[in-house]
Structure 1
Amino acid sequence: MTRRASLPSDRPTRPPAPRPAAPAEGSRQPGQPGQFSNPVLDGGPKADHGDPYVLEHLGEYYLFHSGPRGIDAYRSDDLVRWEWAGTVLTGAGEGHWAQVELWAPEVVYQDGRFVMYVAATSPGVGRASAGKAHGADGGDDMLRRQGVARAPGPLGPYVWDDEPLVAEWSIDAHPFTDDDGSRWLFYNVRNDDTRHADGALGCGNVVDRVGPDGRLLGRPVQVAYPSQDWEAGPGGEQYWNEAPFTLKRRGRYYQMYSGGFFGGDGYAVGVSVADELTGPWEKTSSQPVFVSGEISGPGHHCVTVAPDGVTPYAVYHGYVADGFGRKVHLDRLWWAGDGPQVGRGRRRPTSATLDRQPVPPSAVHDPAVEAFALRAWVRGEHVDVDGLRVGLGGHHEHLLEVDSDGSTMTVRVDDALVATRRGPARPGLAGAEVLRSTVHSHLDDDGEHVLGTPARRSWAWGGSGPVECSVAVAGRARVQLGEQVVDVDGVGFELVTLRSGTGAEALHVVGLDGGARVADVVLDAR
């Protein structure tokens, strides 16, 4: 039986009392500004905040998680300090398909409304065995279906659709918008096709395209089905590939999925990759890429960006020590040559940690740096981006994302790539109502470059303020940012991070004996 854990039935009906001033999980610590430690959302010894999902809208973050009879929401402006914002969806009335065990909510903003993808079922005889978390303890597992609820605002109230979105056993939906604006839905199913090769019961992830009416086209494609030993639960009698979250980089699609039993320490994250959404998909490794450390059982994550608008963070659940209930944690996500890496920049597989880390960064604009990332919420029929007119349409707000590396500018509206222009650019907007905007000095080269011996490649920067860079190197190379120098000598990609407090004219990478491959160069003003 697959499950999705939830809050206990004694969920608060009003905002919790303010925490004392003493250090607490998920807070910025007195005397140590700019740092935090996991978990960022605890809730106490009885709370279980499984399957967290974070939506950013108009500069605020909204966190949703599974519940036995309802979905609770929290609000934050920095991804670290969360305030309870109420119950935004409850189970439907008698006779409806979605009454209990509301699992894995993901909320997207589409065409001026908020759409929550969430699984649920009808009351039945559930099973309470869920390891260190709440499990399926009151619902009919055979009737579990993926559905949709809709609302005019991020905090609801959400209203259920009359019928489920998927007609078979299904959970863990993840909506995805491609560069061309097409919409897709990844979700989890359990049937004879998702069994492990040894015949053991299992569940797996598929993807289907979403039609103009919001319904699925009915042509699901296999993305991640049970195949690896680590994906089994205790005893190896059942396997899980679930909780999909898909990212696109270097023209490829990377689905990060959770495997193993959610109620134990073996729960972890793997990756499946494809050149097309319709496959074929292939797992990148027989081992997980994000595993237990001081925080155990990390998984069912989502990826959001810091207040600077570009730096990616994974929000996931896991257990602290031997305590009960999944708590919500936050760790930075990096791109490391051949895939995503969660953690502190160590070689993969990375592990979740309780160590202190910097709070997610805010935007910093250095006018001396040509590269920038602009992120704005705008309203109007069109918007002019440094003189380039882009159509918007509709009377609701749109998310506008503009990136320039100094030689090419790209423009996205509501996640779709709508325009590209060669040449330098400036972060100027006109012709639309700007509800909120940030500009951040940022350069991101997602390409892969081969350096011979002693070939050198440089990425211009030019700022005099603090700058941070990350770069993935395979082979032998010297990496230099300002006065900071690191030599790399390895076979697979190694993630190198450097920081200069006085800026740098450029990042330089020099191939040493045998040369190197260089990928995922990112520079940010800090």
Structure 2
Amino acid sequence: MAVCSVIYFGGVQAVTAEEIYYNNPIGNMTDIGDPYILKDDGKYYMYATSAPGVGFLVWESDNLVDWEEYGLAYDHMHSDLWATGDFWAPEVIKHGDTYYMSYSARNQEDSLRIAIATSDSPTGPFVDANPDLIADEGSYIDGHFFIDDDGTPYFYYVKDNYENIVDGKHVSHIYVQEMANDLLSLVGEPQFLLEPDHEWEDPNGDYQWNEGPFVIKHEDRYYLMYSANFFAGPNYAVGYAVSDNPMGPFEKSDTNPILTSDLSKGISGPGHNSVTKGLDDETLYIVYHIHTDPNNPSGNRRPAIDRLYFEDGELKVDGPTTDDVQLK
């Protein structure tokens, strides 16, 4: 929602800069998940789990609030058909003049695998450049690119509990690995980072989740955000861990979770977040999904945003909100 400020000079009306307000959920898209927003050349592009049997839609916005669907950014029907479905959690970054998409999908052997696709445009079409990024067997999801200040690229990802069984329980683990400079392959050995081990993450359940990694750097420290619990349940929530090194070890915050359900506001299951900057290119916003029907949580979700900030070394969220909030 946009509002123009009006100032009067000697009876003459002058219109100043436009003020943008939002209230959650943003946009009119439903039945999506895992929203990722790329800010590029003054425009915003949103990618999400959105066309599970085909690929991924992309939406465009000039102000982070009003969104228009562009179409399919990635269409698997135009590839070698390595996957059978379950196209999840796309993330896109620009590196040099190329846009890189990480996504996961289910292969012919029924394992979830991570692929890298590239394009010369943020809207696509993205074409597979490496359809099987991780050499190890198993199911892997939720790839996240992070390029450090010195130019070293890292890739965070999840060994999914679909196949990862520990002591008879299905457990998701978060790993990190260095990437080659072309962002098309991994180098070195994977480093284990996180597992569900705090009470709010249900560490004794038959199925356990730490997933959706996203890293931001602040004052030479690395903040690894993640989601825990079942994405289609009301306990899905966001926490974070901190390290002095992008390869870890990471220590989870005692203030977790930092973003949780608030049914009094109609917010259920906030999670699988990314982070983007506001119109001022300074203010940080957490981008996350919530259940479309908070009283009946499911895989049908909608995007939301709220301000993200640091206070005394701790990561905090002004939310979840549903009232009108001015966008910075």
Q: Does TM-score exceed 0.5, indicating one fold?
A: yes
Task: Give CA-to-partner distance per residue, 1:65-101, whole Å, 9 cap, x none.
Answer: 0131220000001110001111111224696323422
Which one of 241, 265, 269 corresponds to residue 210 of structure 2?
241
Superposition pairs for residues 5-154 of structure 1, below 5 Å?
A: 27-28=1-2, 34-43=20-29, 47-66=30-49, 67-68=51-52, 69-92=54-77, 96-122=81-107, 142-154=110-122
1:28 positional shift = 4.6
Q: 1:64/1:163 Cα in 2 relative to 1: closer, same or farther (>3 Å)?
A: closer
Partner of 1:232: 202
Residue in structure 2 matched with residue 449 of structure 1 by the alignment: none
8 A Cα contact 2:115 2:130, kept in partner: no
Q: How does 1:368-407 map to 2 (within 5 A)?
A: none
Residue 216 of structure 1 corresponds to which residue in structure 2?
A: 186
Using the alignment, how far apart are the partners of 1:257 and 1:267 within structure 2?
A: 11
CA distance in 2 between partners of 1:182 and 1:265 (Å)? 37
Structure (1 or 2) with the greater strand fraction: 2
Give me the whole-angstrom Cα distance separating, in 2, the residues matched to 1:153 and 1:93: 17
Match of 1:328 in 2: 303
User: Do the aligned residues in 2 keep the contact of 1:91 with 1:99 (CA within 8 Å)?
Assistant: no
Matched residues, percent identical?
A: 35
Whole-angstrom distance in 1 between the partners of 2:243 and 2:146: 15
Once the two structures are superposed, residues 37-87 of structure 1 have per-residue CA deviations (whole angstroms, 9 ceiling, x without a partner) of 1111233xxx31100001111100000001312200000011100011111
In structure 1, the residue matched to 2:237 is: 268
Tell me, yes or no, if structure 1 residue 341 matches structure 2 residue 316.
Answer: yes
Residues 103 and 152 (structure 1 numbering): CA distance in 2 closer, same or farther, change over 3 Å? same
Quote the Cα distance in structure 1 between the aligned partners of 2:198 and 2:321. Answer: 25
Pair 42,322 (structure 1): closer, same or farther in 2 beyond 3 Å: farther
Q: How many angstroms does 1:179 deviate by?
A: 1.1
2-structure distance, mates of 1:229, 1:113? 42
- Structure 1 partner of 2:248: 279
CA RMSD of aligned residues (A): 2.6
**Take 2:140 and 2:76, find their aligned partners in 1: how far apart are those partners?**
17
Q: Measure the CA separation in 2 of the matches of 1:28 and 1:200.
A: 49
Decide whether the 8 Å contact of 2:48 with 2:89 is kept in 1. Answer: yes
Secondary structure of 2:200's match? helix
User: What's the offset of the Cα at 1:122?
Assistant: 3.2
Determine if contact 1:91/1:102 at 8 Å carries over to the other structure: no
Given that 2:133 and 2:186 are in contact with CA atoms closer than 8 Å, whether structure 1 keeps it comes out as yes
**Paired residue type of 2:55:** G
**Structure 1: how far apart are the matches of 2:224 and 2:115?**
21
Offset at 1:236? 2.2
Q: Is the 8 A contact 1:29 1:36 kept in 2?
A: no
Structure with greater Cα Rg: 1
Change (3 A) 1:85 1:165: same
The answer on 1:174 being equivalent to 2:128 is no
Letter of the 1:342 counterpart: V
SS at match of 1:342: strand
Q: Indicate which of 134, 152, 156 corresponds to 2:124.
A: 156
CA distance in 2, matches of 1:258, 1:38: 19
Give the aligned partner of residue 155 of structure 2: 185
In the other structure, the counterpart of 2:280 is 308
Secondary structure, in 3 states, of the residue corresponding to 2:322?
A: coil
Corresponding residue for 1:376? none
Counterpart-to-counterpart distance in 2, 1:240 and 1:257: 10
Q: Residues of 1 paired with 2:119 and 2:80: CA distance?
A: 22
Secondary structure of 1:81's match? Answer: coil
Larger relative contact order, structure 1 or 2 (CA cutoff 8 Å, min sep 6): 2
Q: Report the Cα distance in structure 2 between the residues aligned to 1:249 and 1:329, rounded to whole angstroms.
A: 23
Report how many residues are paired. Answer: 305
- SS of residue in 2 equivalent to 1:302: strand
Q: 1:185 to 1:113 in 2, by over 3 A?
A: same
Q: Any gaps of 5 or more consecutive residues in structure 2? A: 6-17
Q: Which amino acid aligns with 2:315?
A: P
Question: What are the superposed Cα offsets for residues 173-196 of structure 1, whole Å, 9 maximum, x if unpaired?
Answer: 110011111000011113799666
CA distance in 1, matches of 2:243, 2:209: 20
Distance 1:279 1:52 in 2: 26
Structure 1 SS opposite 2:189: coil
How big is the shift at 1:171? 0.7
String of CA shifts for 1:127-180, please: whole Å, max 9, x gaps. xxxxxxxxxxxxx6x421011111111111111125311133211011001111
Contact 2:152–2:181, Cα closer than 8 Å, also in 1? no
1:465-484 → structure 2 map (5 Å cutoff): none
8 Å contact 1:91–1:100 — kept in the other structure?
no
Deviations 1:433-469 (A, max 9, x none): xxxxxxxxxxxxxxxxxxxxxxxxxxxxxxxxxxxxx
Q: Which moved more, 1:313-322 or 1:185-194?
A: 185-194
